[in-house]
A = this chain, B = another copy of it.
Amino acid sequence: MTVAVELIVNQLKEVLTEEQVSTNETVRQLHGRDESHHSMSLPDIVVFPRSTADVSAILKIAHVERVPVVPFGVGSSLEGNAIPIANGISIDFSEMNTILEIRPDDLLVKVQPGVTRAQLNKELKKHGLQFTVDPGADATLGGMAATNASGTTAVRYGVMRDQVRDLEVVLADGSVIHTGSLAAKSSSGYHLNGLFIGSEGTLGCFTELTLQVYGIPEFVTAGRAVFATVGDAVSAVTALLQAGISIGRVELVDEASIKQANIYNETSYNEKPTLFLEFHGNEAGMHADIEFASEIFEDFACLSVEFEQDNAARNKLWEARHSLAYAYIHAYPGKKLMSTDVCVPISMLADSVLYAREQLEQVGLAGGIVGHVGDGNFHTLLMLDPNDAEEQAKADRFNEHIVQYALLRGGTCTGEHGVGIGKMKYQSTEHGTSLLVMKSIKAALDPHNIMNPGKIFTM
Protein backbone atom coordinates (compact mmCIF):
# COMPACT_ATOMS: atom_id res chain seq x y z
CA MET A 1 0.00 0.00 0.00
CA THR A 2 1.49 3.32 -1.08
CA VAL A 3 1.58 6.31 1.25
CA ALA A 4 -1.02 8.09 -0.88
CA VAL A 5 -3.42 5.14 -0.62
CA GLU A 6 -2.79 4.85 3.11
CA LEU A 7 -3.77 8.49 3.58
CA ILE A 8 -7.09 7.88 1.84
CA VAL A 9 -7.69 4.66 3.78
CA ASN A 10 -7.14 6.53 7.03
CA GLN A 11 -9.61 9.21 6.04
CA LEU A 12 -12.18 6.60 4.96
CA LYS A 13 -11.81 4.80 8.29
CA GLU A 14 -12.70 8.03 10.04
CA VAL A 15 -16.13 8.05 8.41
CA LEU A 16 -16.71 4.28 7.99
CA THR A 17 -16.10 1.31 10.26
CA GLU A 18 -12.91 -0.74 9.98
CA GLU A 19 -14.63 -3.64 8.14
CA GLN A 20 -16.22 -1.30 5.57
CA VAL A 21 -12.80 -0.43 4.11
CA SER A 22 -10.65 -3.07 2.47
CA THR A 23 -7.29 -3.13 0.73
CA ASN A 24 -7.16 -6.93 0.77
CA GLU A 25 -5.68 -8.31 -2.45
CA THR A 26 -8.47 -10.89 -3.02
CA VAL A 27 -11.18 -8.30 -2.43
CA ARG A 28 -9.46 -5.93 -4.85
CA GLN A 29 -9.18 -8.73 -7.43
CA LEU A 30 -12.92 -9.35 -7.18
CA HIS A 31 -13.55 -5.66 -7.95
CA GLY A 32 -11.01 -5.41 -10.75
CA ARG A 33 -13.01 -7.24 -13.41
CA ASP A 34 -16.50 -7.76 -14.75
CA GLU A 35 -17.99 -10.49 -16.94
CA SER A 36 -16.44 -9.05 -20.08
CA HIS A 37 -13.23 -9.90 -21.89
CA HIS A 38 -11.74 -6.52 -20.92
CA SER A 39 -8.46 -6.56 -18.98
CA MET A 40 -8.43 -6.51 -15.21
CA SER A 41 -7.45 -3.33 -13.37
CA LEU A 42 -7.51 -3.28 -9.58
CA PRO A 43 -8.95 -0.63 -7.31
CA ASP A 44 -6.60 0.52 -4.54
CA ILE A 45 -9.39 0.37 -2.01
CA VAL A 46 -12.81 -1.29 -1.83
CA VAL A 47 -15.46 0.27 0.43
CA PHE A 48 -18.80 -1.17 1.53
CA PRO A 49 -21.20 1.68 2.35
CA ARG A 50 -24.35 0.95 4.36
CA SER A 51 -26.20 4.22 3.84
CA THR A 52 -26.50 7.30 1.67
CA ALA A 53 -24.54 9.16 4.34
CA ASP A 54 -21.69 6.66 3.95
CA VAL A 55 -21.63 7.17 0.18
CA SER A 56 -21.71 10.92 0.61
CA ALA A 57 -18.82 10.79 3.08
CA ILE A 58 -16.77 8.61 0.71
CA LEU A 59 -17.34 10.97 -2.22
CA LYS A 60 -16.50 14.06 -0.17
CA ILE A 61 -13.10 12.55 0.56
CA ALA A 62 -12.60 11.41 -3.05
CA HIS A 63 -13.63 14.86 -4.32
CA VAL A 64 -11.16 16.71 -2.13
CA GLU A 65 -8.37 14.19 -2.69
CA ARG A 66 -9.10 13.77 -6.44
CA VAL A 67 -9.40 10.00 -6.12
CA PRO A 68 -11.22 8.05 -8.87
CA VAL A 69 -14.38 6.29 -7.72
CA VAL A 70 -16.23 3.43 -9.45
CA PRO A 71 -19.59 2.08 -8.24
CA PHE A 72 -19.80 -1.74 -8.21
CA GLY A 73 -22.88 -3.98 -8.10
CA VAL A 74 -22.22 -7.67 -8.78
CA GLY A 75 -19.78 -7.07 -11.62
CA SER A 76 -22.03 -8.53 -14.31
CA SER A 77 -21.35 -5.70 -16.76
CA LEU A 78 -20.22 -6.71 -20.24
CA GLU A 79 -18.14 -3.77 -21.46
CA GLY A 80 -15.75 -3.21 -18.59
CA ASN A 81 -18.18 -0.63 -17.17
CA ALA A 82 -17.30 -1.43 -13.55
CA ILE A 83 -13.55 -1.98 -14.00
CA PRO A 84 -11.54 0.73 -12.17
CA ILE A 85 -9.13 1.46 -15.00
CA ALA A 86 -7.78 4.49 -13.12
CA ASN A 87 -7.62 2.49 -9.86
CA GLY A 88 -8.84 4.45 -6.82
CA ILE A 89 -11.92 3.42 -4.86
CA SER A 90 -14.43 0.73 -5.84
CA ILE A 91 -17.73 1.34 -4.02
CA ASP A 92 -19.35 -2.06 -3.49
CA PHE A 93 -23.11 -1.70 -2.89
CA SER A 94 -23.72 -5.23 -1.62
CA GLU A 95 -24.47 -4.01 1.90
CA MET A 96 -27.06 -1.56 0.57
CA ASN A 97 -29.46 -4.26 -0.57
CA THR A 98 -32.70 -3.52 1.27
CA ILE A 99 -36.10 -3.34 -0.39
CA LEU A 100 -37.21 -0.18 1.38
CA GLU A 101 -40.88 0.05 0.43
CA ILE A 102 -43.48 -1.69 -1.73
CA ARG A 103 -46.51 0.41 -2.69
CA PRO A 104 -48.87 -1.99 -4.49
CA ASP A 105 -51.53 0.70 -5.07
CA ASP A 106 -49.00 2.91 -6.80
CA LEU A 107 -47.27 0.01 -8.59
CA LEU A 108 -44.04 1.40 -7.16
CA VAL A 109 -41.17 -0.01 -5.16
CA LYS A 110 -38.26 1.76 -3.49
CA VAL A 111 -34.98 -0.15 -3.24
CA GLN A 112 -31.36 0.35 -2.39
CA PRO A 113 -28.98 -0.04 -5.35
CA GLY A 114 -27.54 -3.39 -4.23
CA VAL A 115 -30.88 -5.21 -4.48
CA THR A 116 -30.77 -7.69 -7.35
CA ARG A 117 -33.66 -8.21 -9.73
CA ALA A 118 -34.25 -11.81 -8.59
CA GLN A 119 -34.33 -10.65 -4.96
CA LEU A 120 -36.87 -7.98 -5.86
CA ASN A 121 -39.06 -10.29 -7.94
CA LYS A 122 -39.16 -12.89 -5.16
CA GLU A 123 -40.56 -10.25 -2.81
CA LEU A 124 -42.90 -8.68 -5.38
CA LYS A 125 -44.46 -12.04 -6.21
CA LYS A 126 -46.13 -12.04 -2.79
CA HIS A 127 -48.07 -8.99 -3.97
CA GLY A 128 -48.90 -10.39 -7.42
CA LEU A 129 -46.40 -7.93 -8.89
CA GLN A 130 -43.28 -8.18 -11.05
CA PHE A 131 -40.31 -6.07 -12.01
CA THR A 132 -40.05 -6.52 -15.74
CA VAL A 133 -36.50 -5.70 -16.87
CA ASP A 134 -34.64 -8.96 -17.46
CA PRO A 135 -31.08 -8.64 -18.75
CA GLY A 136 -30.32 -12.32 -18.17
CA ALA A 137 -27.79 -11.88 -15.36
CA ASP A 138 -29.07 -11.40 -11.81
CA ALA A 139 -27.66 -7.89 -11.82
CA THR A 140 -28.22 -5.24 -9.14
CA LEU A 141 -30.88 -2.65 -9.86
CA GLY A 142 -28.31 0.10 -9.34
CA GLY A 143 -26.09 -1.45 -11.97
CA MET A 144 -29.01 -1.98 -14.32
CA ALA A 145 -29.96 1.70 -14.01
CA ALA A 146 -26.33 2.72 -14.55
CA THR A 147 -26.17 0.96 -17.94
CA ASN A 148 -29.85 1.41 -18.90
CA ALA A 149 -30.17 -2.36 -19.06
CA SER A 150 -33.03 -4.06 -20.85
CA GLY A 151 -33.33 -7.59 -22.28
CA THR A 152 -36.06 -9.84 -23.57
CA THR A 153 -39.07 -7.99 -22.13
CA ALA A 154 -38.20 -4.50 -23.42
CA VAL A 155 -40.47 -4.97 -26.43
CA ARG A 156 -43.44 -5.04 -24.05
CA TYR A 157 -42.49 -3.10 -20.92
CA GLY A 158 -39.59 -0.90 -22.02
CA VAL A 159 -36.04 -0.55 -20.79
CA MET A 160 -34.64 0.40 -17.40
CA ARG A 161 -35.02 4.12 -18.15
CA ASP A 162 -38.75 3.59 -18.58
CA GLN A 163 -39.11 2.03 -15.13
CA VAL A 164 -37.27 4.53 -12.94
CA ARG A 165 -39.53 7.11 -11.32
CA ASP A 166 -36.90 8.63 -9.04
CA LEU A 167 -33.24 8.21 -8.13
CA GLU A 168 -31.41 9.39 -5.08
CA VAL A 169 -27.97 10.26 -6.39
CA VAL A 170 -24.81 11.24 -4.56
CA LEU A 171 -22.91 13.63 -6.80
CA ALA A 172 -19.14 13.88 -7.15
CA ASP A 173 -18.88 16.44 -4.34
CA GLY A 174 -20.94 14.32 -1.95
CA SER A 175 -24.15 16.32 -2.28
CA VAL A 176 -27.37 14.34 -2.51
CA ILE A 177 -30.12 14.98 -5.05
CA HIS A 178 -33.35 13.38 -6.22
CA THR A 179 -33.88 13.19 -9.95
CA GLY A 180 -37.63 12.61 -10.13
CA SER A 181 -40.77 12.21 -8.07
CA LEU A 182 -43.39 9.54 -7.38
CA ALA A 183 -45.69 10.93 -10.07
CA ALA A 184 -46.21 8.75 -13.15
CA LYS A 185 -45.45 11.70 -15.39
CA SER A 186 -44.06 15.19 -15.01
CA SER A 187 -43.24 18.27 -17.06
CA SER A 188 -41.45 19.96 -14.18
CA GLY A 189 -37.83 20.96 -14.71
CA TYR A 190 -35.21 19.07 -16.67
CA HIS A 191 -35.47 15.28 -16.93
CA LEU A 192 -32.50 14.38 -14.72
CA ASN A 193 -33.88 10.86 -14.22
CA GLY A 194 -33.24 10.04 -17.85
CA LEU A 195 -29.85 11.74 -17.85
CA PHE A 196 -28.46 9.81 -14.87
CA ILE A 197 -29.81 6.47 -16.09
CA GLY A 198 -27.23 5.09 -18.46
CA SER A 199 -24.49 7.41 -17.17
CA GLU A 200 -22.50 4.36 -15.95
CA GLY A 201 -21.33 5.92 -12.71
CA THR A 202 -19.73 8.88 -14.49
CA LEU A 203 -22.13 11.48 -13.04
CA GLY A 204 -22.89 10.14 -9.58
CA CYS A 205 -23.67 7.10 -7.41
CA PHE A 206 -27.25 5.90 -7.07
CA THR A 207 -28.25 5.28 -3.45
CA GLU A 208 -32.00 4.74 -3.81
CA LEU A 209 -34.20 3.84 -6.77
CA THR A 210 -37.97 4.16 -7.04
CA LEU A 211 -39.11 1.76 -9.74
CA GLN A 212 -42.31 1.04 -11.55
CA VAL A 213 -43.63 -2.51 -11.26
CA TYR A 214 -46.45 -4.35 -13.01
CA GLY A 215 -49.14 -6.86 -12.17
CA ILE A 216 -48.13 -10.41 -13.07
CA PRO A 217 -50.07 -11.13 -16.28
CA GLU A 218 -53.10 -13.35 -15.89
CA PHE A 219 -52.00 -15.71 -18.66
CA VAL A 220 -48.72 -16.34 -20.40
CA THR A 221 -48.23 -18.40 -23.55
CA ALA A 222 -44.85 -19.33 -24.95
CA GLY A 223 -44.34 -19.94 -28.64
CA ARG A 224 -41.69 -21.10 -31.06
CA ALA A 225 -41.83 -20.48 -34.80
CA VAL A 226 -39.30 -21.78 -37.32
CA PHE A 227 -38.59 -19.92 -40.58
CA ALA A 228 -36.66 -20.67 -43.73
CA THR A 229 -34.69 -17.42 -43.54
CA VAL A 230 -33.75 -14.72 -41.04
CA GLY A 231 -35.46 -12.24 -43.36
CA ASP A 232 -38.79 -14.06 -43.12
CA ALA A 233 -38.56 -14.30 -39.33
CA VAL A 234 -37.80 -10.60 -38.91
CA SER A 235 -40.46 -9.53 -41.42
CA ALA A 236 -43.03 -11.59 -39.52
CA VAL A 237 -42.18 -9.75 -36.30
CA THR A 238 -42.39 -6.38 -38.04
CA ALA A 239 -45.86 -7.31 -39.28
CA LEU A 240 -46.89 -8.35 -35.75
CA LEU A 241 -45.69 -5.06 -34.29
CA GLN A 242 -47.40 -3.01 -36.99
CA ALA A 243 -50.65 -4.84 -36.29
CA GLY A 244 -50.33 -3.58 -32.73
CA ILE A 245 -50.21 -7.09 -31.26
CA SER A 246 -48.81 -6.91 -27.78
CA ILE A 247 -45.88 -9.32 -27.57
CA GLY A 248 -44.35 -10.09 -24.16
CA ARG A 249 -41.05 -11.27 -25.59
CA VAL A 250 -39.78 -12.12 -29.06
CA GLU A 251 -36.28 -13.47 -29.61
CA LEU A 252 -34.57 -14.52 -32.81
CA VAL A 253 -32.05 -17.35 -32.63
CA ASP A 254 -30.09 -18.10 -35.80
CA GLU A 255 -29.43 -21.53 -37.28
CA ALA A 256 -25.84 -21.81 -36.01
CA SER A 257 -27.12 -21.16 -32.49
CA ILE A 258 -29.95 -23.70 -32.74
CA LYS A 259 -27.29 -26.21 -33.84
CA GLN A 260 -25.22 -25.36 -30.76
CA ALA A 261 -28.27 -25.60 -28.51
CA ASN A 262 -29.17 -28.98 -30.02
CA ILE A 263 -25.72 -30.31 -29.11
CA TYR A 264 -25.87 -28.87 -25.58
CA ASN A 265 -29.47 -29.88 -24.78
CA GLU A 266 -29.40 -33.15 -26.78
CA THR A 267 -32.40 -31.99 -28.79
CA SER A 268 -33.06 -32.21 -32.50
CA TYR A 269 -34.81 -28.98 -33.36
CA ASN A 270 -34.91 -27.92 -36.96
CA GLU A 271 -31.67 -25.98 -37.47
CA LYS A 272 -33.30 -22.95 -39.01
CA PRO A 273 -33.83 -19.34 -37.85
CA THR A 274 -36.29 -19.58 -34.97
CA LEU A 275 -38.44 -17.08 -33.11
CA PHE A 276 -39.07 -17.63 -29.41
CA LEU A 277 -42.16 -15.77 -28.30
CA GLU A 278 -44.21 -14.97 -25.24
CA PHE A 279 -47.68 -13.49 -25.15
CA HIS A 280 -49.07 -11.94 -21.95
CA GLY A 281 -52.66 -10.99 -21.24
CA ASN A 282 -56.13 -12.23 -20.54
CA GLU A 283 -56.96 -15.65 -21.93
CA ALA A 284 -59.39 -14.61 -24.64
CA GLY A 285 -57.23 -11.78 -25.95
CA MET A 286 -54.14 -13.90 -25.90
CA HIS A 287 -55.80 -16.65 -27.92
CA ALA A 288 -56.96 -14.11 -30.47
CA ASP A 289 -53.44 -12.64 -30.63
CA ILE A 290 -51.91 -16.08 -31.06
CA GLU A 291 -54.34 -16.99 -33.82
CA PHE A 292 -53.58 -13.72 -35.59
CA ALA A 293 -49.83 -14.21 -35.08
CA SER A 294 -50.04 -17.73 -36.57
CA GLU A 295 -51.75 -16.31 -39.65
CA ILE A 296 -49.03 -13.67 -40.02
CA PHE A 297 -46.33 -16.33 -39.61
CA GLU A 298 -47.93 -18.33 -42.43
CA ASP A 299 -47.72 -15.26 -44.67
CA PHE A 300 -43.97 -15.37 -44.13
CA ALA A 301 -43.55 -19.05 -44.99
CA CYS A 302 -43.27 -20.25 -41.41
CA LEU A 303 -42.07 -23.89 -41.40
CA SER A 304 -43.59 -24.80 -38.04
CA VAL A 305 -45.13 -23.08 -35.05
CA GLU A 306 -46.08 -24.36 -31.60
CA PHE A 307 -47.48 -22.77 -28.45
CA GLU A 308 -47.48 -23.88 -24.82
CA GLN A 309 -49.35 -22.44 -21.86
CA ASP A 310 -48.33 -24.79 -19.08
CA ASN A 311 -45.42 -23.45 -17.02
CA ALA A 312 -43.12 -26.48 -17.42
CA ALA A 313 -43.90 -26.85 -21.11
CA ARG A 314 -43.20 -23.12 -21.61
CA ASN A 315 -39.79 -23.43 -20.01
CA LYS A 316 -39.02 -26.50 -22.07
CA LEU A 317 -40.04 -24.68 -25.23
CA TRP A 318 -37.75 -21.72 -24.43
CA GLU A 319 -34.86 -23.91 -23.29
CA ALA A 320 -32.83 -23.52 -26.49
CA ARG A 321 -32.96 -19.74 -26.11
CA HIS A 322 -32.30 -19.64 -22.38
CA SER A 323 -29.36 -22.05 -22.53
CA LEU A 324 -27.72 -20.41 -25.51
CA ALA A 325 -24.83 -18.65 -23.76
CA TYR A 326 -24.11 -21.80 -21.76
CA ALA A 327 -24.26 -23.90 -24.92
CA TYR A 328 -21.50 -21.78 -26.42
CA ILE A 329 -19.42 -21.60 -23.24
CA HIS A 330 -19.71 -25.37 -22.88
CA ALA A 331 -18.64 -25.98 -26.47
CA TYR A 332 -15.49 -23.85 -26.15
CA PRO A 333 -13.84 -24.70 -22.82
CA GLY A 334 -11.24 -22.16 -21.71
CA LYS A 335 -12.58 -19.44 -23.97
CA LYS A 336 -14.32 -16.25 -22.89
CA LEU A 337 -17.62 -14.99 -24.25
CA MET A 338 -17.68 -11.70 -26.10
CA SER A 339 -20.95 -10.21 -27.27
CA THR A 340 -21.71 -7.50 -29.79
CA ASP A 341 -24.70 -5.30 -28.95
CA VAL A 342 -25.80 -3.05 -31.80
CA CYS A 343 -29.40 -1.92 -32.17
CA VAL A 344 -30.74 -0.89 -35.58
CA PRO A 345 -34.06 0.40 -36.94
CA ILE A 346 -36.15 -2.73 -37.25
CA SER A 347 -36.38 -2.43 -41.05
CA MET A 348 -32.60 -2.89 -41.12
CA LEU A 349 -32.50 -5.84 -38.74
CA ALA A 350 -32.74 -8.75 -41.17
CA ASP A 351 -29.93 -7.38 -43.36
CA SER A 352 -27.85 -6.53 -40.28
CA VAL A 353 -28.11 -10.10 -39.00
CA LEU A 354 -27.20 -11.50 -42.42
CA TYR A 355 -24.26 -9.10 -42.63
CA ALA A 356 -23.09 -10.19 -39.17
CA ARG A 357 -23.25 -13.84 -40.22
CA GLU A 358 -21.25 -13.11 -43.42
CA GLN A 359 -18.63 -11.12 -41.51
CA LEU A 360 -18.34 -13.87 -38.92
CA GLU A 361 -17.53 -16.37 -41.63
CA GLN A 362 -15.17 -13.96 -43.34
CA VAL A 363 -13.04 -13.34 -40.25
CA GLY A 364 -13.24 -17.05 -39.40
CA LEU A 365 -14.78 -16.96 -35.94
CA ALA A 366 -17.34 -19.33 -34.45
CA GLY A 367 -20.38 -17.65 -32.99
CA GLY A 368 -24.12 -17.40 -32.84
CA ILE A 369 -26.59 -14.60 -33.30
CA VAL A 370 -29.47 -13.94 -30.97
CA GLY A 371 -31.74 -10.93 -31.32
CA HIS A 372 -34.22 -8.97 -29.23
CA VAL A 373 -35.93 -8.71 -32.54
CA GLY A 374 -38.85 -6.51 -31.48
CA ASP A 375 -36.36 -3.75 -30.64
CA GLY A 376 -33.85 -4.27 -33.45
CA ASN A 377 -31.16 -5.21 -30.91
CA PHE A 378 -29.04 -8.30 -31.57
CA HIS A 379 -25.98 -9.94 -30.09
CA THR A 380 -23.29 -11.97 -31.82
CA LEU A 381 -21.89 -14.35 -29.24
CA LEU A 382 -18.20 -15.02 -29.86
CA MET A 383 -15.96 -17.44 -28.02
CA LEU A 384 -12.46 -16.05 -27.60
CA ASP A 385 -9.24 -17.37 -26.17
CA PRO A 386 -8.15 -14.54 -23.87
CA ASN A 387 -4.49 -15.38 -24.53
CA ASP A 388 -4.82 -15.41 -28.29
CA ALA A 389 -4.10 -11.88 -29.47
CA GLU A 390 -4.86 -12.75 -33.07
CA GLU A 391 -8.29 -14.10 -32.21
CA GLN A 392 -9.00 -11.00 -30.13
CA ALA A 393 -7.93 -8.79 -33.02
CA LYS A 394 -10.28 -10.68 -35.34
CA ALA A 395 -13.13 -10.23 -32.89
CA ASP A 396 -12.40 -6.51 -32.56
CA ARG A 397 -12.35 -6.14 -36.34
CA PHE A 398 -15.63 -8.03 -36.56
CA ASN A 399 -17.23 -5.85 -33.86
CA GLU A 400 -15.98 -2.75 -35.67
CA HIS A 401 -17.68 -3.83 -38.89
CA ILE A 402 -20.96 -4.62 -37.14
CA VAL A 403 -20.97 -1.28 -35.35
CA GLN A 404 -20.11 0.78 -38.44
CA TYR A 405 -22.83 -1.04 -40.38
CA ALA A 406 -25.36 -0.19 -37.64
CA LEU A 407 -24.27 3.45 -37.28
CA LEU A 408 -24.53 4.03 -41.04
CA ARG A 409 -28.17 2.90 -40.80
CA GLY A 410 -29.16 5.17 -37.93
CA GLY A 411 -28.53 2.58 -35.23
CA THR A 412 -26.51 2.61 -32.03
CA CYS A 413 -23.30 0.81 -31.04
CA THR A 414 -24.90 -0.46 -27.83
CA GLY A 415 -28.53 -1.35 -27.28
CA GLU A 416 -28.23 -2.44 -23.66
CA HIS A 417 -24.70 -3.22 -22.44
CA GLY A 418 -23.53 0.37 -22.20
CA VAL A 419 -20.35 2.00 -23.46
CA GLY A 420 -17.91 1.10 -20.69
CA ILE A 421 -14.47 0.71 -22.22
CA GLY A 422 -15.44 -1.33 -25.29
CA LYS A 423 -17.67 1.18 -27.08
CA MET A 424 -15.76 4.39 -26.35
CA LYS A 425 -14.12 4.43 -29.76
CA TYR A 426 -17.53 4.68 -31.46
CA GLN A 427 -18.93 7.56 -29.41
CA SER A 428 -17.63 10.29 -31.68
CA THR A 429 -18.99 8.65 -34.84
CA GLU A 430 -22.33 7.92 -33.21
CA HIS A 431 -22.93 11.22 -31.42
CA GLY A 432 -20.95 13.76 -33.43
CA THR A 433 -21.20 17.25 -31.97
CA SER A 434 -23.52 16.11 -29.20
CA LEU A 435 -20.55 14.39 -27.57
CA LEU A 436 -19.39 17.92 -26.71
CA VAL A 437 -22.71 18.52 -24.95
CA MET A 438 -22.25 15.30 -22.95
CA LYS A 439 -18.74 16.37 -21.99
CA SER A 440 -19.89 19.81 -20.90
CA ILE A 441 -22.52 18.20 -18.66
CA LYS A 442 -19.91 15.85 -17.21
CA ALA A 443 -17.55 18.79 -16.59
CA ALA A 444 -20.30 20.77 -14.88
CA LEU A 445 -21.25 17.92 -12.53
CA ASP A 446 -17.87 16.30 -11.93
CA PRO A 447 -15.26 19.04 -12.39
CA HIS A 448 -12.35 16.91 -11.11
CA ASN A 449 -13.37 13.89 -13.22
CA ILE A 450 -13.36 11.47 -10.30
CA MET A 451 -16.56 9.55 -11.19
CA ASN A 452 -15.65 6.38 -13.13
CA PRO A 453 -13.08 8.31 -15.18
CA GLY A 454 -12.12 7.05 -18.62
CA LYS A 455 -15.52 5.50 -19.31
CA ILE A 456 -17.98 6.47 -22.08
CA PHE A 457 -15.57 9.23 -23.22
CA THR A 458 -12.29 10.76 -22.10
CA MET A 459 -12.41 14.32 -20.84
Give me the interface of A with B, judged by CB distance under 8 Å. 103-108, 128, 147-150, 154, 158-159, 161-162, 171, 175-179, 181-195, 197-199, 203, 214-218, 238, 241-246, 280-289, 292, 341, 343-347, 374-377, 406, 409-419, 423, 426-427, 430-435, 437-438, 440-445, 456-457
Asked whether, in the complex, the Cβ of A187 is within 8 Å of the Cβ of B416, the reply is yes
> Top 8 A-B pairs ranked by shortest CB distance?
A285-B285, A194-B194, A182-B410, A284-B288, A215-B244, A105-B347, A186-B412, A183-B343
Q: Which of B189, B203, B288, B292 contacts A419 (CB 8 A)?
A: B189
What residues of chain B lie closer than 8 Å to A344, measured between beta carbons? 182-183
What residues of chain B lie closer than 8 Å to A426, measured between beta carbons? 188
What residues of chain B lie closer than 8 Å to A108, measured between beta carbons? 345
> Do A181 and B430 form a contact, CB below 8 Å, given A187-B198, A413-B188?
yes
Asked whether, in the complex, the Cβ of A437 is within 8 Å of the Cβ of B427, the reply is no
> What distance in Å separates the Cβ of A83 from its nearest Cβ neighbour in chain B?
17
> What distance in Å separates the Cβ of A359 from its nearest Cβ neighbour in chain B?
19
What residues of chain B lie closer than 8 Å to A244, measured between beta carbons? 214-218, 280-281
Asked whether, in the complex, the Cβ of A427 is within 8 Å of the Cβ of B198, the reply is no
Q: How far is the CA of A344 from the CA of B188 in the complex (A)?
A: 13
> Do A154 and B185 form a contact, CB below 8 Å, given A195-B195, A215-B242, A241-B107?
yes
Asked whether, in the complex, the Cβ of A181 is within 8 Å of the Cβ of B444, the reply is no
**6 pairs, CB–CB < 8 Å, chain A vs chain B:** A161-B194, A181-B412, A182-B344, A188-B426, A190-B195, A284-B288
What residues of chain B lie closer than 8 Å to A199, measured between beta carbons? 190
Asked whether, in the complex, the Cβ of B183 is within 8 Å of the Cβ of A376, the reply is yes
